[in-house]
Amino acid sequence: MAASAFLLISCVLCFSQAHRVANLVLLPDAVNDGAVCLDGSAPGYYIDKTSVNRWIIHLEGGGWCYNKSDCYYRASSWLGSSTYWNRTSHLRGFLNNDPDVNPEFANYSVVFVPYCDGASFSGNVNDPITVNDKKIYFRGHPILNAVLSALIQKEQIDKAEAIILTGCSAGGLSTYLHLDYVQSMFPNIKVHGLADAGYFIDAANIHGEMYIRGQYQHIFEMQNCSGGVNSDCIRSKEESERWQCFMAQYTYPYIKTPIFVFNAEYDTWQLQNILQVGCKAPNCNESQMQLIARWRTMFLQTLQPVIRSTTNGLFTDACIQHCQSLADRTWSKIMVKNQTAHDTFVDWLDLKGTGIVRAVDDHTYPHNPTCGKPHIPKG
């Protein structure tokens, strides 16, 4: 399971030559406040500042570390240490500044927050643990606080008119977990969320085992996440059930800030790691494809609170994909109800038009001709 933490979340589906370049800003002073990556290195963010008024904050994904040993190995990678980060980041899809790909958002300032805590920016354990004589820190929520504080002090984001919080995969989950918190940090600013591929569901695998439930519960407890997720969700739960607030389907009903849900109905990471179907769709036998078809039905049932919402937005496609907002084609070419994710999100924000704001694909795989090549994450 450790290998599956390193999700392939960028550049696999990047076909456009045009892209946004953001520059790294490290926050060494944050170390003194306890905001550090798994290995104790400083957090930071990438930024391309083009607008004072409109901002996108993207929380990077990349799975989770499921136990102490897993976190130890992760701490020696770019998902656990800022010492491995490049000086620039190349951004596409929803973060692209190419108006042909991303016309409504090309002029937004973009902050890309690299992920180095292993628990979706939620953990906070005072004392480091020691694994193989190496100190490992669980400080994801202090990292989020440090980045937001720096954006206020250095970038004056508190002067904005609009902020969109987004992320994909583990970063999509982060969007569910932290959206209300970000809104509370900017009470006079209109905040919206776009959660991509973060609606991981509490479902049994092909053997009937609730395997993923145990994984999320252990992460939640190991990294002491109760103070770093949606506070209304935590208050509503008995202590034994608070781990549920680390999953989108359980925390979604408590989110007050407007959120747009973007997910493939055949999410490849969930097929491999929650359903554990034993193949990489569509390269599966008939029996396995039947299991996958039943998964889609169950996923859409679990998604019903979003589908029935009268305020939140939705774009869910019958494609074999994972993390679609970061690639130009999946953001601006895949069609549901004759419109793209970009167009549906724009209509939901009411930036233009009065089109469909909750688009659920009527197709089953492989009958949506706009899906293109499946995206199969490594792991």
The dihedral built from the CA positions of residue 198, 201, 207 and 211, taken in this order, carries a sign that is positive
The region that residue 50 occupies, defined by phi over 0 for left and psi between -120 and 50 for alpha, beta otherwise, is: alpha
Active site residue 267: yes
- Residue of 82, 109, 120, 169 with catalytic role: 169
Long-range contacts of 32-35 (CB under 8 A, 24+ apart): 33/142, 33/146, 34/126, 34/139, 34/142, 35/139, 35/142, 35/143, 35/145, 35/146
DSSP state of 213: H
DSSP state of 268: H
- Residue of 267, 317, 343, 347 with catalytic role: 267
- Residue of 141, 192, 322, 342 with catalytic role: 322
User: Exposed, middle or buried: residue 308 (CB in 10 Å: 0-12, 13-18, 19+)?
Assistant: exposed
* Beta strand ranges found along 306-351 (DSSP E): 313-321, 335-336, 339-340
- The alpha-carbon radius of gyration of the chain (Å, integer) is 19
Decide: 261 and 199 in contact? Cβ < 8 Å.
yes
Active site residue 343: no
Q: Could you give phi then psi for residue 258, rounded to 5 degrees?
A: -55, 135
State the residue for tokens 């792991």.
Answer: 379
Coil, strand, or helix at residue 165?
Answer: strand
The stretches of the chain forming alpha helices (DSSP H) are 68-74, 140-155, 170-185, 211-222, 231-236, 248-251, 268-273, 286-302, 304-307, 328-332, 341-349
Amino acid letter, 279: C
Decide: 206 and 287 in contact? Cβ < 8 Å.
no
Assigned token pair, 116? 């180095």
Active site residue 322: yes
Report, as residue numbers or ranges, the catalytic residues: 169, 267, 322
